[in-house]
Amino acid sequence: MKLITVNASVTASNDRDAEALRQRLRAQGKLLVNVMSSAGSGKTTLLSSIIRDLPDVKIGVMEADIASSVDAERIEALGARAIQVHTSGMCHMDAGMTAAAFDAMQAHDADLYFLENVGNLICPAEYDTGAGLNLMILSVPEGDDKPLKYPLMFQKSDVLAITKTDALPYFTFDLETCIERVKKLNPAIDVYPVSAKTGEGMAALEKRLLNALDQWKNNR
């Protein structure tokens, strides 16, 4: 037997798959947004609002869950294109699974795709899905200490939506402190406090997403 020095990350094969998918999406001018958050943060509700607010944008949604198809059904009810992805017990989506899901969506022609990752603040941050933009959601009831507990997720995200701001009066959530903690971990992240329920702050977040889509298409 011979000794071979590898010195590669365990996820090296995933990183290659992710880069291949990203290049494919870039060539097609389709922006994939990887949406990550804990369970119950309001991912599907936020996406529903975005779909309703942007009727002129062709949107496709891939809902990843360990089981059930309730999320995809909610999105389809709004007239958007949606598929449900089952991860068979896996706690995250990797690039191979994302590429397979994207291929399954190809029958639906859209410009902006959302991948609703498995609700979990840990594992999804460790796997590059091949997305062009990482969007994290933190909801007010979860608490402003989450950046301290799950730093990697905040470091890997390009945009953070702090959702359920309509519930701020009922929780001891300090918005300013939270944003300060997030910026300390990731100075480049854009933070948008929003309420999908009242619509407050949604326009700014949607503008950010549309700008990202324009930029993606222009850099084809």
Partner 1 sequence: MHEMGIVLHLAKTLDETAEQERLTRIGKVVLQVGEVSGIMTDLFTDAWEYFKGRHPVLKDSELVLETIPAVTWCDACKREYPTVQYGKECPYCHSGETWLLRGNECIIKEIEAE
Q: Which residues bind partner 1 (CB under 8 A)?
A: 1-14, 89-92, 94, 122-123, 127, 148, 152, 184
Q: Which of 145, 189, 153 is nearest to 38 (CA)?
A: 153
Q: Whole-number minimum distance, CB 26 to partner 1, in Å?
A: 24
Q: In this structure, what token pair is assigned to residue 75?
A: 């999105």
Q: Cβ closer to partner 1: 88 or 219?
A: 88
Would you say 52 or 181 has its CB closer to partner 1? Answer: 181
Contacts for 181 with CB less than 8 Å, ≥ 6 apart: 144, 147, 148
CB of 90 to partner 1, least distance (A): 5
Which amino acid, residue 193? P
The three-point CA angle 171-163-205 to 5° equals: 145
CB of 93 to partner 1, least distance (A): 10
Structure tokens given for 93: 């989506």
Closest CB 69 distance from partner 1, rounded Å: 20
CA–CA gap between residue 128 and residue 144 (Å, rounded): 26
**What is the Cα–Cα distance from 192 to 1, expressed in whole angstroms?**
56
* Identity of the residue, 11 or 28, whose beta carbon is nearer to partner 1 in the bound complex: 11
Q: How far is the CB of 104 from partner 1 (least distance, A)?
A: 20
Nearer to partner 1, 77 or 148 (CB): 148
Q: Which is nearer to partner 1, 94 or 163 (CB)?
A: 94
Any residues with CB less than 8 A from the CB of 51 and at least 6 apart, and which? 59, 61, 75, 78, 79, 80
